[in-house]
Structure 1
Amino acid sequence: MTVRSDIELSGHRAANAASVELDQVSKSFGGATAIDGLNLSVQPGEFLSLLGPSGCGKTTLLRMIGGFEHPDSGDIRIGGSSVIGQPPNKRPVNTVFQSYALFPHMNVAENVGYGLRQRRVPKSEITERVLAALKMSRLEKFADRSPSKLSGGQQQRVALARALVNRPRVLLLDEPMSALDRKLREEMQLELTVLQAELGITFVFVTHDQEEALTMSDRIAVIDQGKIQQLADAETIYSSPANLFVARFIGKRNFIPVELDSGALNAGEHKLLPGHSVVGTPQQKCLLAVRAEDVSVHSTAPAAGLNGLTGTLVDIAYLGEVKQYLVRQPGGLEVLARMAPSRTEELHAGQRVWCSWAPRDGQLFANDEEPVR
């Protein structure tokens, strides 16, 4: 995949990117709160992903930035200017929708140039800008083709070119790759990331796919029930979730019920070490979160200094890059482990095994869902 740095789209560079600010924005539908007093600041040229489960409010948020929904309260500013009350076509943004919404009676070039014709841009300029957008999207040879004759990935690139040809200062993307198969989706993730870096436009990207957000974004806003639960870069969100919701939503984690006991953690018959000194109430019930990839499974007890739980190996799954093990304790707790095949020994279902991990790889959450410090 090659993004052509010589295709300029008339000065489409970071200097033309716009900031996006939301100040105490709220939105309800029929008495149900979709967005609840949300604050958000997106920097010019940033790739920000809005990540969360279905119904969390991320698409509503995107539609309000684009002007397709209007907040009940609060302010939305693009490039420092309020856009409250402005229709979509008066805002310096373009939106790529999940459905692509290509016109079936127009060929690719006509679809890409549609917005320019609506704005009565001179014909010679339309031709020049459409050609640049097609080259940028590697669609030159499909210019005369009907959308129905294109693959899903090609249709996605047409929708992207149609948005970019209008020179938006902010590009909004509402799960544009959800209909693509896994391989094509991964290819388009890379293309879109490189293209955004080349053009320097501010991207606000909606997805429910955590891997997609982690791979593509400068920062991620994890949203639940209309509120931002955490706003940070991918590594921070993955390694240091701000609360139990983020810990459950991001990655594959085990949540082990424990009780605080004089600086140690009681987990049934096992005593575990916290990863750092913990201040809490004696016998306080907590959850110890440990990522599946930080857990090892062996037939022997773990070495000194490691935490360990014993149980019965109930399932082994080969996932290509990793082997996945499911271990069930006598009390019913199940622990998931993912290990590189090169690290594994010969184990079989029904065997008694040990799960182990370094204390530093565990994160403790109290009943109020905040990390225990």
Structure 2
Amino acid sequence: MTAEDRDLRARLVRLARHAPTSGGGDTLQRALAVNRSRRLRAARWVAAAVAVVVLGTAGTLARPEAAPAVQAAQPTPAGPPPPEVYEQPPRGSLADDPGFLAGVAALRWSPPASGSGFSRSFDGDSRRVVYAADVPGGHRWAVVMARNGSSWVVNWFAGPRGARPAEMTEAYGPTGWSRSLPLALMDVSAATGPLVVLADPGVGVEYSATLDRAPDGSLVRDFVELPEVDGVRSGLVRTPVSYGPDTAPELVQVRNGVRTPLGITLTTGTPLWAPTAYPDDPPDPSDIAECLTANGFTVQAAPPSAGVYYEDPRTGDLSSEEQAERDRAGQDCFLGTGQD
């Protein structure tokens, strides 16, 4: 997986650099295309910030490929050995419902997307449900694993609590599986959302949504331990507000007293702070520059065709909320809503 840039402000700078400012709606279309391509490539916390506008849509637009009619058996010895989670019994509150598992295993998968890094179709005969449950917040989730050439991939399906297999849809789309770290899933469409981590048995998981400003002015993080529920670590947690290098949420694996950061989390849903409405006509670059300057940013000289370059000259460590406020100020300038 390709590591993405570190915060929402950097995303806006990048989109401004690469999206032409002439041609009316071309800027908007180019920005959305950049978001869409990154959604297909990345699976990191920061990728969630880039992709929130298009998550959950690509799977329904792509033509799916056929799937087996039953829960798949173990793979043949040929090829790479499967991850340990694949060979373990399914986990989750629905793990003892063979009919539901078989139905989910038979769900169609979107084919490998351009730029996803997968060069061949997924092995339908190897598909197997490794997790299925009703999770907090009124959701039903299922994770299916399959072989893809010399690697293994997972597909995350979601629906409302009590949904039948036919009512489940791809929440993220097929993505690679890391043998060294657990798989984490989160819904970010509300202020709080379910977080599920498929960790090894006996491994602890702690989560911190934000870096906060303490009464004495220092910056602190509070971690909550996710309880084990039906074989996985899960809970209803506060969702992220910022994706800066220091202000992004943190997820930590605790194994034998050793704390290891987990950098890969798949997300679904559009955060409350993410824009969902874009102007039909992007703001004029001069208006964007004026807005950025009024909000304390430094605008740098650039050719008109290159977009708008800007920096934040303010220094000092920020809390997640403070970083989010700066991000929103810059973002609003590009949306044309940053000043009267």
TM-score (normalised: structure 1): 0.26
> Which structure's residues are more often strand, by fraction?
1
Q: RCO (CA 8 Å, sep 6+): is it higher in 1 or 2?
A: 2
Q: Which has the larger radius of gyration?
A: 1
